[in-house]
Amino acid sequence: MTQYLARRLAFAVVLVATVSSASFVLARLAPGDYVTGTLGGRVSSEVIARERARLGLDKPLAEQYRDWAAAALRLDFGQSMLYDRPVGDLIPERAANTAILAFAALAMATVIGLPLGIVTGARRGGALAATIRTVSLVLVSMPPLLTSLALVFIAARTGWFPIAGMRSSTAADEDVLFDILRHLVVPALAIALPLAAALERLQAQSMSETIGQPFVLAAAARGLPRGRVVWRGALKAALRPIAAMYGLMIGTLLSGSFAVEVITAWPGLGTLMLQALRARDIYLIAGCAGAGALFLALGTMVSDVALAVVDPRASEPGTRVEAAA
């Protein structure tokens, strides 16, 4: 187990280093830089050269990368040109906002999706199961880009929830938590609904397979009430494949949160990354990419460890690939 953890940790470090380095180099090689982007053709070439020298953009790529990487090892990730603040200060704030959004969405999706999947998976027919199936088919067909537009549309029409940002300027200080929660509803639901539908489909499939197993029949034959068989016995066995899905969902969650953050103006990593990319703010780009990779690595690690605890076979070297394929 320790060895397994160590291997996963090493992978996380490699992932973060590769992703942030690659984005640093790519952003540096891209045509145009922060200075030409912000000052443009309005100023003389001397001013541009001076500005470049001040920001350290005049050095050759290899040297610049070496300096940045060396500083990054000391946890100094450079200065954001766009915000004129250290990247190391800026990113944790925004990353926390994205984490709040992602966790809220994941929790909502789980709370909505899993029980519904158990209901539709455990019974063959019935109006309830058919309705849930239809709704979830509709929601599976609505990626977060569309759900967030739809929810913003509803919220704007009804005025039930704020549609943009994370805090309103008018709220009193003691209401901060409530205020954030109110702002969280639309973006979190936008990510959660398609995810809940996907979970419902998966859980239903897993459940209906489990229901067919001999041990379920045996339990029913012993005279256990059907509700107990479904919710206690079969549920435990049906949860395992779902647990494996959570690790894969982190990437989906991050990708989905990008569109939602942009549409609902949620001040998270996605909107920050977009600003950084547009402004060619290379230190901020590398920082955002690294933070995203860290999220991903930690998420997959936590879910893999959880899976290894549930199912010890998963931590044996070599078996995981076969299990996934």
Partner 1 sequence: MTRGAGLILIAAAIVAALGAPFLAPHAADVRYQSLLNAPPTWPHIVSDEGGWHPPFIYRWRLVSRLEQQYEEDRSARVPLTWFSGGRLVQSTNDADAPLLLLGADSFGRDVFSRLLYGARISLGLATIAALGATLIGGAIGGLAGYLGGAIDDGLMRATDFLMVLPAMYVALALRAVLPLVLTAQQVFALLAIIFAVLGAPFIARGVRAIVRSERRREYAAAAEAIGASGWRLLARHLLPATRGFVAVQITLLVPAFIVSEATLSYVGLGFPDPIASWGTMLHDAATNIRVFADFPWLLSPAAAMFIVVLGLNLVLQDEHRLSARG
For binding to partner 1 (CB under 8 A), which residues are involved? 15, 19, 23, 26-27, 29-32, 137-138, 140-143, 145-146, 149-150, 152-153, 156-157, 163, 251-252, 254-256, 258-259, 262-263, 270, 273-274, 277-278, 285, 289, 292-293, 296, 300, 321, 325
Nearest approach in angstroms of CB 77 to partner 1 is 17
Q: Between 181 and 265, whose beta carbon lies closer to partner 1?
A: 265
Please say which residue, 224 or 262, places its beta carbon nearer to partner 1.
Answer: 262
Whichever of 156 and 181 has its CB closer to partner 1, that residue is: 156
Q: Which is nearer to partner 1, 189 or 219 (CB)?
A: 189
Q: How far, in Å, are 20, 171, 183 from residue 177 at the CA level?
A: 33, 10, 10
DSSP 142-195: S-HHHHHHHHHHHHHHH-SS--SSS--TTS-GGGHHHHHHHHHHHHHHHHHHHH
> Closest distance between partner 1 and the C-beta of residue 216, in Å?
18
Structure tokens at 103: 């966790």
Q: Which is nearer to partner 1, 118 or 152 (CB)?
A: 152
CA distance 304 to 249: 12
Tell me the closest approach of the beta carbon of residue 324 to partner 1, in angstroms.
9
Q: How far is the CB of 227 from partner 1 (least distance, A)?
A: 26
Report the nearest approach of partner 1 to the CB of residue 46 (Å).
25
Q: What is the DSSP string of 21-72?
A: HHHHHHHHHSSS-HHHHHHGGGS-HHHHHHHHHHHTTTS-HHHHHHHHHHHH
Assess contact for 153 and 146: CB atoms under 8 A.
Answer: no
3-class secondary-structure state, position 79 = strand
CB of residue 224 to partner 1, shortest distance in Å: 27
Based on CB atoms, which residue is closest to partner 1, 219 or 291? Answer: 291
Q: Which residues have CB under 8 Å from 165's CB, separation 6+?
A: 183, 264, 265, 266, 267
Of 235, 250, 206, 220, nearest in space to 15 by CA: 250
